[in-house]
Structure 1
Amino acid sequence: MTTIADSVPTSLDHRRGRTTVTVVDGSGTLIPHTDILLEQVRHAFGFGNIGFDLIDFANEHATTTDDAVAGSSVTTSDDNNAAFAQEWLSLFNMATLPFYWARFEPTPGHPDTARLLAAARWFKSHDVSVKGHPLLWHTLAPRWLMDVTETQAESAMRARIKREVEEFAGVIDHWDAINESVILPRFTAETNAVTRLAQSQGRVETVRLAFDTARAANPQARLVLNDFDLSPEYEHVISECLDAGIQIDAIGLQTHMHQGYRGEDEIWEILERFARFGLPLQMTETSLVSGDLMPAHIVDLNDFAPADWPSTAQGEARQAAEITRHYRNLFAHPSVESVTYWGLSDATAWLGAPSGLLRTNGSRKPAFDAIHDLIKSEWWHPAGVQRTDEAGRLRVQGFAGTYRMSHRGVSADFAVEAGHEKHLRVVLGA
Structure 2
Amino acid sequence: MRSLRTGLSLASLLAGAALVCTAPAAHAADPPLRDLAAAKGKVVGTAVTGSKLTGTYGDLAGAQFSSLTPGNAMKWGSVEPTRGGFDWTEADKIVAFAQAHGQQVRGHTLVWHSQNPSWLTNGSWTPAQLGSLLQNHISTEVGRYKGKIAAWDVVNEPFNDDGTYRADLWYDGLGSGYIANALTWAHAADPDAKLYINDYNVEGVDAKSTALYNLVKSLKQQGVPIDGVGLQAHLILGQVPSTLQQNIQRFADLGVDVAITELDVRMALPADSGKLAQQAADFRSVVAACVAVTRCVNLTVWGFADSDSWVPSTFPGYGAATPYDENYAPKPAYRGIAEALGGTTTTPPPPTGACTAAYSVSSQWDSGFTGQVRISCSGASLASWKVSWTYGAGQRVTQAWNATCAQSGAAVSCSNASYNGAVPDGGSVTFGFNASWSGGNPVPTVTLG
Corresponding residue for 1:187?
166
Corresponding residue for 2:52?
57
Match runs of 1:362-377 below 5 Å:
362-375=328-341, 377=343
Q: Which amino acid aligns with 2:333?
A: A
**Distance (Å, rounded) in 2 between the aligned partners of 1:358 and 1:314:** 16
The 1:334/1:277 distance shift into structure 2, 3 A limit, reads same
Q: Which amino acid aligns with 1:56?
A: S
SS of residue in 1 equivalent to 2:158: coil
Shift of residue 281, structure 1, vs aligned partner = 1.2
The 1:173/1:93 distance shift into structure 2, 3 A limit, reads closer
SS of residue in 2 equivalent to 1:176: strand
Shift of residue 42, structure 1, vs aligned partner = 7.7
Does 322-331 or 156-165 show the bigger shift?
Answer: 322-331
**Distance (Å, rounded) in 2 between the aligned partners of 1:310 and 1:329:** 28
Matched-pair contact (CA < 8 Å) for 1:141–1:193: no
SS of residue in 1 equivalent to 2:243: helix
Residue among 32, 43, 48 paired with 2:45: 48
Deviation string, structure 1 residues 381-415 (Cα, Å, up to 9, x no partner): xxxxxxxxxxxxxxxxxxxxxxxxxxxxxxxxxxx
**Distance (Å, rounded) in 1 between the aligned partners of 2:223 and 2:153:** 18
Shift of residue 273, structure 1, vs aligned partner = 2.6
Shift of residue 95, structure 1, vs aligned partner = 0.9
Matched-pair contact (CA < 8 Å) for 1:165–1:173: no
Residue among 234, 239, 263 paired with 1:286: 263
Residue among 172, 176, 182 paired with 1:196: 172
Residue ranges of structure 1 left out of the alignment (5+ in a row): 1-39, 59-80, 293-308, 380-430
Q: Which amino acid aligns with 1:236?
A: N
Corresponding residue for 1:164?
141
Residue among 246, 271, 284 paired with 1:311: 271
**Distance (Å, rounded) in 2 between the aligned partners of 1:133 and 1:331:** 23
Match runs of 1:237-276 below 5 Å:
237-258=215-236, 260-263=238-241, 265-276=242-253
Corresponding residue for 1:235?
213
Residue among 320, 333, 348 paired with 1:354: 320
The 1:187/1:329 distance shift into structure 2, 3 A limit, reads closer
Shift of residue 350, structure 1, vs aligned partner = 1.9
Shift of residue 367, structure 1, vs aligned partner = 1.3
SS of residue in 2 equivalent to 1:363: coil
Residue among 89, 94, 109 paired with 2:62: 89
**Distance (Å, rounded) in 2 between the aligned partners of 1:140 and 1:330:** 30
Corresponding residue for 2:281?
321
Instruction: From the CA coordinates, give the structure whose radius of gyration is larger.
Output: 1
Shift of residue 260, structure 1, vs aligned partner = 3.0
Q: Which amino acid aligns with 2:99?
A: K
Shift of residue 164, structure 1, vs aligned partner = 0.7
Q: Is 1:337 matched up with 2:312?
A: no
SS of residue in 1 equivalent to 2:58: helix
Residue among 166, 181, 184 paired with 1:209: 181
**Distance (Å, rounded) in 1 between the aligned partners of 2:201 and 2:219:** 16
SS of residue in 1 equivalent to 2:324: coil
Residue ranges of structure 2 left out of the alignment (5+ in a row): 1-34, 203-208, 313-318, 346-449
**Distance (Å, rounded) in 2 between the aligned partners of 1:378 and 1:277:** 34
TM-score, with structure 1 as normaliser: 0.62
**Distance (Å, rounded) in 2 between the aligned partners of 1:226 and 1:330:** 16
Number of residues of Structure 1 aligned to a counterpart in Structure 2 = 291
Deviation string, structure 1 residues 324-353 (Cα, Å, up to 9, x no partner): 232122201222111111121111212212
Shift of residue 176, structure 1, vs aligned partner = 0.8
Larger fraction in helix = 1
The 1:375/1:128 distance shift into structure 2, 3 A limit, reads farther
The 1:174/1:271 distance shift into structure 2, 3 A limit, reads closer
The 1:213/1:316 distance shift into structure 2, 3 A limit, reads same
Compute the RMSD of aligned alpha carbons: 2.5
Shift of residue 259, structure 1, vs aligned partner = 5.2
Corresponding residue for 1:136?
111
Deviation string, structure 1 residues 183-216 (Cα, Å, up to 9, x no partner): 397535xxx5323224xxx21x211221111111
The 1:372/1:259 distance shift into structure 2, 3 A limit, reads closer
Corresponding residue for 1:109?
84
Matched-pair contact (CA < 8 Å) for 1:180–1:229: no
Shift of residue 373, structure 1, vs aligned partner = 4.8
Deviation string, structure 1 residues 86-120 (Cα, Å, up to 9, x no partner): 22233210111132212332222332213311221
Q: Which amino acid aligns with 1:270?
A: N
Deviation string, structure 1 residues 45-103 (Cα, Å, up to 9, x no partner): 11111123xx0034xxxxxxxxxxxxxxxxxxxxxx51122222332101111322123
